[in-house]
Amino acid sequence: MTITINQFHDMYHIGSIIRNKDLLSYNYNVHINIPRSAQKQGGSNGRTYQMIQIIGSNPNIIKLQKAINIIEIQAENDYLEHRERKRKRQDKACASQRKSEKRHDGVLNKFKNERSMKNNPFYGL
């Protein structure tokens, strides 16, 4: 018997599900449909969710859901690693910017000191 199940999945994971959609459909003998207009806001994390329609037999859908859960876990890990790399890049950029500002401030202070010394009437004495 063929049934249709509608599930909502996090938008951060939809890309991974779309990339594996054909392989999942073939391996589990189901049809996966991802309508573009079916989105909803929600959750305590404020993320957007996308609806996925799964059409097939109940045992195949249950097996597919387990595979989708594994794909979602991997996608979440990839996303967290991406955010960590991005934070490290930003920290490195901020550190180099602070270093250059410190160097620039030292040169500027030296220039100000020399200029103030030349304006001093007792400079040459």
Query: CATH code at 43?
Result: 3.30.1370.10
Stretch 25-40: mean pLDDT = 86
* Domain annotation covers residue 118: no
* Domain annotation covers residue 119: no
* Domain annotation covers residue 67: yes
**What does the pLDDT read at residue 11?**
84
Strands (E), the chain: 3-10, 31-33, 39-42, 47-56
* Global pTM value: 0.65
Q: How many domains does the chain have?
A: 1
**Residue-range definition of the domain harbouring residue 52:** 3-113
Stretch 58-62: mean pLDDT = 93
* Domain annotation covers residue 73: yes
* Domain annotation covers residue 89: yes
* Domain annotation covers residue 124: no
Q: Is it the case that residue 62 has pLDDT exceeding 90?
A: yes
Q: Is it the case that residue 40 has pLDDT exceeding 90?
A: no
Let me know: does 71 contact 16? Beta carbons within 8 Å.
Answer: yes
Give phi and psi for 55, each to the nearest 5: -120, 125
Binned at pLDDT 50, 70 and 90, residue 36 comes out as: confident
Mean pLDDT score across all residues of the chain: 81
